[in-house]
Amino acid sequence: MTTAVVPSSPLPSLEDRHMYYILTDDFPYGSKLFQAGSMCFLKEKTYLHSIACVGTSTQYLRVTMLDDNSIVTVKAEILHPLPEEEAVFLLAINTLSERLNCFLDRHSLEEAVKATVGQQVTVDLNQQLFTGTIRYIGKISKNSSSSPHSPSYFGVELQGGGEGRGHCDGTYNGSEYFKCKQNHGLFLPVNKIKFIPVLDCDSMKEEPQPDVDEIVPVKVGDTVGFYLDEVFRQGVAMDVHKEGTQWFVKVCPEEEGTTDVFREIPMDSVVKEGLLSSEFEPDMAPGSLRQIKRERSESGEDLESGKHSLDVNSVVQITLDKGNSVTGIIRWLGYLPNIKHRMAGVELDQEKGITDGEWQGMRYFHCPPKRGLFVKLQSCQPDMRFQSVSITPLDASTSGEIDGPQVLANSPLENGAAVQVLQGRMRGIQGHCNSCYMDAALFSLFSCTSVLDSMLFKPSLPPSGHVQKILRDEIVNPLRRNGFVAASSVMHLREQLTEKGQCSSFTTSEKDPEEFLNLIMHHILGIEPLLKLQSGGQKEQECYYYQIFIDKQEDLVVPNVQQLVEHSFLSSSLKLVEIPSCFIIQMPRFGKEYKMFSKIIPSLELDITDLLLDSPRECFVCGDIATQECSECFRDAVFADMGMKQYCNSCCRQVHSHYRRKTHRPTTLHVPEAFQVRSQMGSPRIPRERMELFAVLCIETSHYVSFVKYGPEKENWMFFDSMADRHGDENGYNIPIVKLCPEVAKYLQLPGAALAMEQPRDMEGVAKRLFCDAYMYMYQSKKMSLYK
């Protein structure tokens, strides 16, 4: 096997030597913000000169940032010096937070500097660990020879279960750095590698290592059989150690689970799994191997069915001793050294574990001490608290209808709980293969509101019940409890929609949120339409969302949602037949690309009082019961730019006595009988019907994102993007992000004229996307959702 190493080069002169630093804290500089983890350098000669001028170490250093080559003056106290041999490895890590974490983990960097070609390592591929061998260490860019700041990578040849999971044969950008089979090679940054220490050859010579397989027949991870209280049991060897001249095995019995309840068994009293045979079974009473096998088969532990749905971030329960169980979240899946079963690293809800994510000195995930547990994946069961209660299947011949499953659903997240559960990287719903339209819609509808939870509870007949179960158990409940939904769960739903919707492209192609909502609400689940509309006394129309259609209005430069809805309803002579529990409104556009308005102001409350059919309304002038409505007055520039124009009889005569409005033709309003009586007794106060905004879907260059209102304060906004970042290339995965965006409140408080003058590129944070890219607004009536 041909290998390569970094060619040696003459030592640079003082003029050419650089000093490298990493920022340990965020540092604002003008309009820029250099985040912790950013790296910079300055020439050693410049540094020595600055010290000579001041006499002591200066408080500020003028450095060159490696991200954009800008020259910046930075506080010395947040600059940590780096040896060049460490700096080149850190430069290969693109994500600043991961780079900083790697820097803080001194052991990993020190191992990288000492690493040699031919050394064994484990590599992190899609949250699974595989073994490999280092074949190359160094720079891989085409111009690496001319750039002193090029990052260094590890060229690794994958072995064992990782074979065929690589991306190359040792060649990168046409240059060969080492040789291996196609798709067996990878070039990786230091944070994706775990180094297996190289044994000291001298110490091996002084103290020859015994052949463990000959002297010690059982190794850590082996499944063994043993007798305990005269009952034959099975378990996993967690440790093998010697006390004096006798070997002992620390065993975790399978029925007790991998906890701090271990059994110390003498080596000569255990039998390795490979040596167990049917000869043991005839002599064993209850609790025998045969009984254990039957119980495990009945419990489904040996079956693969049902396990495929468990993934990283799945909520699981594990049975421990005496039937007790613990719950937790899967943080890692893969294979541990010398263990043939697929294992799960679980972070428990309570301190009943034995680790903080390490196994035999190797870290596989992070969690608090005594909260981590490594168990066979087949020992994990979905947390029954978040599964539908099983019901006995009914024969169609004996029952005309099937009751829907009872569901213990999680409550929507609000206020501090929403921040704690949802905020961060790898939070929200993970995007995959053009799924952003569905990711953004589901996050908007279910993360912080229960207005459409009827979709999860509604009794359903097969096959729609299967879709409902996926939506409830694989998406909504995990989102509300863990703050994360894996791409596989959404793909499972998309596959079902493809089948039910007779659309072969639902799993691959871009779609629109309204297409998805109409399919799942109407064609799949068959829930009652959200809106009932009537136009000009015609027959009622039912729909699930409302598309705004209006002509270009010269006076509407930066409109708010209230204005757009009122203009649209008036132009189409529409009325709401009843108060909706959920009002989904699609903004006006000329096609997907062209926006009718450069900005739209979110109306945090939508007043629908005057949009309701046959509902009592208030006179626009005096506040008495309105009896007449005038659509032409609505467009009159003399009046307010929003609010429907209706009058009592007296005010209507007075308003239309003006010569400019004598040609108007007001229409008569229906006044409920109870309000006619109250009107004769005095001026009754008309109740206002308002709906509150809970989410906004936005689109920019065919990519959908979501803004969600998670609390009552104006600053309580969070932003969700299912594909905000990515790990790896075509074999990698998307990283969803949920982050708070309180800056939205600043722009909501601006007058319309001031907001119109704001340049989108200058708007803080992600506010520009909310105001400039709004596609669909979602409003709720918590009062009506109690009845629907």
User: Which region among 127-131, 270-274, 682-686 has the lowest average model confidence (pLDDT)?
Assistant: 682-686
d(CA 265, CA 225): 10
Q: Pick from 502, 524, 546: which residue ends a domain?
A: 524
Nearest C-alpha neighbor of 57 from the set 48, 69, 66: 48
pLDDT for 287:
36
pLDDT for 210:
40
pLDDT in tens, 734-743: 889 999 999 9
Residue 7 included in any domain: no
Same domain, 705 and 676: no
Same domain, 35 and 84: yes
User: Which region among 99-113, 242-256, 340-354, 438-452 has the lowest average model confidence (pLDDT)?
Assistant: 242-256
Tell me phi and psi for residue 768, to 5 degrees: -55, -40
Contacts for 199 with CB less than 8 Å, ≥ 6 apart: none
Residue located via tokens 């068959």: 526
Peptide bond into 7 cis (omega under 30): no
The total of other beta-carbon atoms located within 10 Å of residue 124's CB is 17
Contacts for 662 with CB less than 8 Å, ≥ 6 apart: 656
Return the top range by mean pLDDT from 48-57, 751-760, 764-773.
764-773
* Percent of the residues in the chain that have a pLDDT greater than 90, as a whole number: 12
d(CA 539, CA 270): 80
Nearest C-alpha neighbor of 513 from the set 458, 567, 570, 435: 435
Contacts for 7 with CB less than 8 Å, ≥ 6 apart: none
User: Which region among 26-40, 308-322, 557-571, 651-665 has the lowest average model confidence (pLDDT)?
Assistant: 308-322
d(CA 381, CA 371): 18
d(CA 766, CA 741): 7
Strand (E) or helix (H) holding 457: helix 454-457
Residues 413-433 have a mean pLDDT of: 86
The residue type of 151 is P
pLDDT band for position 293 (50/70/90)?
A: very low
Task: Give residue 751's domain range.
Answer: 531-609+690-785
Between vectors from CA 558 to CA 556 and to CA 563, what angle results, nearest 5°? 60
pLDDT band for position 554 (50/70/90)?
A: low
DSSP codes, 550-595: ----TT-SS-BHHHHHHHHHHHTTEEESS--SEEEEEPPEETTTEE
In 3-state terms, what secondary structure has residue 321?
helix
d(CA 313, CA 383): 12
* Percent of the residues in the chain that have a pLDDT greater than 70, as a whole number: 74
Burial class (CB in 10 A: 0-12, 13-18, 19+), 31: exposed
- Is the model's pLDDT at 498 over the cut of 70? yes
Same domain, 60 and 177: yes
Same domain, 137 and 66: yes
pLDDT in tens, 45-75: 777 766 555 444 457 788 888 888 888 888 8
pLDDT for 144:
46
- Is the model's pLDDT at 444 over the cut of 90? yes
Residue located via tokens 């052991």: 107
Strands 628-629, 667-668: parallel, antiparallel or unpaired by DSSP?
A: antiparallel
Pull the structure tokens for residue 498: 């493809």
pLDDT for 501:
54
As a whole number of Å, the end-to-end CA separation of the chain is: 69
Nearest C-alpha neighbor of 438 from the set 537, 377, 510: 510
pLDDT for 89:
92
pLDDT for 783:
77
DSSP codes, 610-660: GGBTT---B-TTT-SB--EE-HHHHT-TTS-SSS--EE-HHHHHHHTTSGG
- Is the model's pLDDT at 365 over the cut of 60? yes
Same domain, 86 and 153: yes
CATH code where residue 221 lies = 2.30.30
Is 436 among the catalytic positions?
yes
Residue 206 included in any domain: no
- Is the model's pLDDT at 18 over the cut of 50? yes
259 or 239, which is more confident: 239
d(CA 583, CA 562): 12
Query: What are the C-alpha distances in Å from 693 to residues 456, 549, 603, 696, 779?
Result: 22, 20, 7, 8, 4
Please tell me the total count of domains within the chain. 6
d(CA 721, CA 737): 6
Pull the structure tokens for residue 361: 């000195």
User: Which region among 151-165, 322-336, 436-450, 702-716 has the lowest average model confidence (pLDDT)?
Assistant: 322-336
Residue 511 included in any domain: yes
pLDDT band for position 197 (50/70/90)?
A: low
pLDDT for 743:
92
Q: Which of 102, 180, 436, 630 is catalytic?
A: 436
Pull the structure tokens for residue 766: 């992600």
Nearest C-alpha neighbor of 342 from the set 122, 124, 490, 130: 130
The total of other beta-carbon atoms located within 10 Å of residue 345's CB is 27
d(CA 417, CA 539): 45
Residues 186-204 have a mean pLDDT of: 69
Instruction: State the average pLDDT for the chain.
Output: 76
pLDDT for 521:
85
pLDDT for 719:
96
Number of helices (H), then strands (E), in the chain? 22, 45
Q: Pick from 164, 195, 226: which residue ends a domain?
A: 195
pLDDT for 90:
92
pLDDT for 766:
92
Same domain, 151 and 38: yes
pLDDT band for position 396 (50/70/90)?
A: very low
Contacts for 543 with CB less than 8 Å, ≥ 6 apart: 529, 530, 531, 533
CATH code where residue 359 lies = 2.30.30.190
Rg of the chain in Å (alpha carbons): 33
pLDDT band for position 392 (50/70/90)?
A: very low
Q: What is the DSSP letter of 167?
A: S
d(CA 585, CA 785): 17
Residues 347-356 have a mean pLDDT of: 82
d(CA 154, CA 617): 73
Contacts for 420 with CB less than 8 Å, ≥ 6 apart: none
Cβ(555)–Cβ(753) under 8 Å?
Answer: no
Same domain, 352 and 373: yes
Cβ(432)–Cβ(733) under 8 Å?
Answer: yes
Same domain, 773 and 705: yes
Same domain, 542 and 640: no
d(CA 779, CA 788): 15
Same domain, 633 and 698: no
Residue 397 included in any domain: no
pLDDT for 776:
93
Pull the structure tokens for residue 177: 């750095």
Same domain, 626 and 585: no
CATH code where residue 727 lies = 3.90.70.10
Nearest C-alpha neighbor of 465 from the set 530, 524, 544: 524
In 3-state terms, what secondary structure has residue 288?
coil
In 3-state terms, what secondary structure has residue 248?
strand
Is 727 among the catalytic positions?
no
- Is the model's pLDDT at 134 over the cut of 80? yes
Same domain, 560 and 651: no
Residue 409 included in any domain: no
d(CA 784, CA 781): 5
584 or 197, which is more confident: 584
pLDDT in tens, 398-421: 223 223 233 344 678 888 888 888
Residues 707-722 have a mean pLDDT of: 92
- Is the model's pLDDT at 278 over the cut of 70? no
pLDDT for 411:
76
The residue type of 669 is L
Strand (E) or helix (H) holding 227: strand 223-228
Residue 395 included in any domain: no
Alpha carbon of residue 579 to chain centroid: 34
Residues 367-378 have a mean pLDDT of: 84
Burial class (CB in 10 A: 0-12, 13-18, 19+), 678: middle
pLDDT for 594:
65
Cβ(80)–Cβ(24) under 8 Å?
Answer: yes
Residues 127-139 have a mean pLDDT of: 85
Q: What sign for the dihedral angle of Cα 643, 644, 647, 652?
A: positive
Alpha carbon of residue 29 to chain centroid: 31
Residue 306 included in any domain: no
What global pTM score does this model have?
0.47
pLDDT in tens, 573-628: 888 888 898 999 998 875 545 677 888 999 999 988 888 887 778 887 787 788 88
DSSP codes, 678-729: HHHHS-PPPPP-EEEEEEEEEEETTEEEEEEE-SSSTT-EEEEEEEEEEESS
Residue 304 included in any domain: no
d(CA 75, CA 512): 48
Return the top range by mean pLDDT from 143-157, 193-207, 716-730.
716-730
Q: What sign for the dihedral angle of Cα 129, 134, 136, 137?
A: positive
d(CA 357, CA 359): 7
Virtual torsion, Cα 433, 436, 442, 443, nearest 10 deg: 120
Cβ(190)–Cβ(90) under 8 Å?
Answer: yes
- Beta-bridge partners for 122: 131, 194
Between vectors from CA 344 to CA 340 and to CA 348, what angle results, nearest 5°? 150
184 or 252, which is more confident: 184
